[in-house]
Amino acid sequence: MSRHYVYVDIITIESPVRECGKRKDFGLYILGGGISDPNGTLKHFYELHPPIPYSVPNHRIPRMVDANTVLAREPLEKWWVDSSARTEVRKAGIAWEIETFGMPLKDRLTLGECRYCKTAQAAAELITSKLMWSDRLPGYFREIADAGTDSRCAIPYETLRAALHKGDLFQAQAAIWQLRALLPKRLLHLRNTLMRMLVVMGLGQDAIEMP
Amino acid sequence: MSEPISLVMCVGREYKLFALLDEYGRWGASKRIPVTNADLLGKIEFGKSRLFIAHPDAIVKVTDPQRTLLGLVIELCVQGYMSETRLLEDTTAFLDFDWENMKPQPGDEVPAPMLVVSCALSRLSSFNKEAYDMLVAKYKLKFLRGIVGWSYITRAEYVLPEGVTDVPDEHAHLLPFMEDGTITPVHVEYIE
């Protein structure tokens, strides 16, 4: 193992033990405030009254933002800059793919009916051309309803119900895939019902390859 | 001149809000970042970029339809859990708001003294858990994440254990940042 010697001066600092404990060895920290220069001292911390709502799941990695849009309380989608903005665009793209196909596009193009499709449009056209209504669909849906659902499956379950009600089979096949991905262990037997639904909808190859 | 990038970071619920504000107010913000994210240090400007801190208990929402935020604040004051009684001079400040799906957006209305209330509850959860649990159940309180404040980012420090003067293989990419002064390598002595 090679040695990576630090050739610059290593400073010894005094620090209080903070609420989160002592600093971790070999940890990288960013610190704010408290620096003085001839023009004055930066305040350590500026509280925000009221706090700015931040309805984003917890994240460990820092997200890059434009401070002015944050402080102006502009919509979240305007906050992100640099790679965080690219991440948001990618996330929005994946959300669209899951809503449309029930799975990320990279999976859709390597699985079942769409295995040889090159683009999202080709996959969507192929699925649309194969879809057909079957009078057995409501019966299969009843089997799912009778088994009871899980809170995690609530959204695809409701989407499937609404799609079948409207006769929107494209949305129904996406909801079936989403439901499969979220099925809890105790409801795994419903996988067979979901496969049967795909078969009667005309997506037999999808049913065969459903994990 | 364009604004330098700033950062948003989350802190965990185990880090009590009142302790965080007290500590950051005294010593400034301090957050560990993954060493794999060191490249973002090249994008920030010390003294100009800001570090925003998001806390999961920043915003408190009374969800019992029979009760109000004002009722909660009065109870906190009467019981002596909140000392900022002067805030009650303007009761309109505690008008509660409803948000779509309980997911308020940055521009949505939040009562102005919210941070004082959430801090009082956070203090209560540390020093009188029983009373805190009682209030949470009585008012059906829900806590939501919000940005509670910010610091100007003034430095980045890499902690080396006492007596160690080299970095592990997987941190070797930090050395150029140390050489150009972006990251300061430090040994830490703790003050009791």
Closest A-chain CA to B153: A32
pLDDT of residue B1: 52
Strand partners, B186: A11, B159
Same domain? B133 vs B92: yes
Same domain? B103 vs B186: no
Say how many domains are in chain B: 2
Q: Within its chain, how far is the Cα of A111 from the centroid?
A: 20
Given a cut of 60, is residue B186 above it in pLDDT?
yes
Residue from the list B35, B146, B169 with its beta carbon closest to the beta carbon of A2: B169
Given a cut of 60, is residue A1 above it in pLDDT?
no
User: Does some domain include residue A124?
Assistant: no
User: Does some domain include residue A99?
Assistant: no
A chain contacts of residue B156, beta-carbon cutoff 8 Å: 28-31
Question: Which contacts qualify for A139-144: CB closer than 8 Å, 24 or more apart?
Answer: A140/A193, A140/A196, A140/A197, A140/A200, A141/A197, A143/A190, A143/A193, A144/A179, A144/A190, A144/A193, A144/A194
Residue from the list A11, A19, A74 with its beta carbon closest to the beta carbon of B186: A11
Same domain? B89 vs B167: no
User: Does some domain include residue A134?
Assistant: yes
- Surface-to-core class of residue A32, CB atoms within 10 Å of its CB (0-12 exposed, 13-18 middle, 19+ buried): buried
pLDDT tens across B110-146, in order? 998 999 999 999 999 999 999 999 999 999 999 999 9
Same domain? B66 vs B115: yes
pTM, full prediction: 0.74
Say how many domains are in chain A: 1
Same domain? B53 vs B93: yes
User: Does some domain include residue A59?
Assistant: no
Same domain? B20 vs B60: yes
Given a cut of 80, is residue A39 above it in pLDDT?
no
Same domain? B143 vs B179: no
CB contact under 8 A, A4 and B175: yes
Torsion of CA A160, A124, A101, B102, to 10 degrees: -70
Same domain? B93 vs B56: yes
B172: containing domain: 159-192
pLDDT tens across A61-82, in order? 899 999 999 999 999 989 998 8
* Interface ipTM > 0.90: yes
| Nearest Cα residue to A35 out of B50, B31, B182, B152 | B152
User: Does some domain include residue A143?
Assistant: yes
User: Does some domain include residue B2?
Assistant: no
CA B192/CA B130 separation, integer angstroms: 30
| Nearest Cα residue to B76 out of B120, B126, B21 | B120
CB A113 within 8 A of CB A128: no
Q: Please state, rounded to an integer, the average pLDDT across all residues of chain B.
A: 90
A chain contacts of residue B144, beta-carbon cutoff 8 Å: 53, 55
Q: Which residue reads 């107010």 in tokens?
A: B25
CB contact under 8 A, A13 and B157: yes
DSSP structure class, residue B102: G
pLDDT tens across A4-15, in order? 887 788 888 888
The residue-averaged pLDDT of A109-122 equals 91
The residue-averaged pLDDT of A146-167 equals 85
| Nearest Cα residue to B9 out of A56, A86, A94, A68 | A56
Same domain? B47 vs B29: yes
A138: containing domain: 130-208
User: Does some domain include residue A160?
Assistant: yes
Q: Around B96, how many Cα atoms within 13 Å sit in the side-chain half-sphere? A: 21
Same domain? B144 vs B102: yes
Same domain? B116 vs B134: yes
CA A203/CA B151 separation, integer angstroms: 56
Q: What share of chain A is helix, strand, coil (3-state, %, to 5)?
A: 50, 15, 35
Same domain? B127 vs B179: no
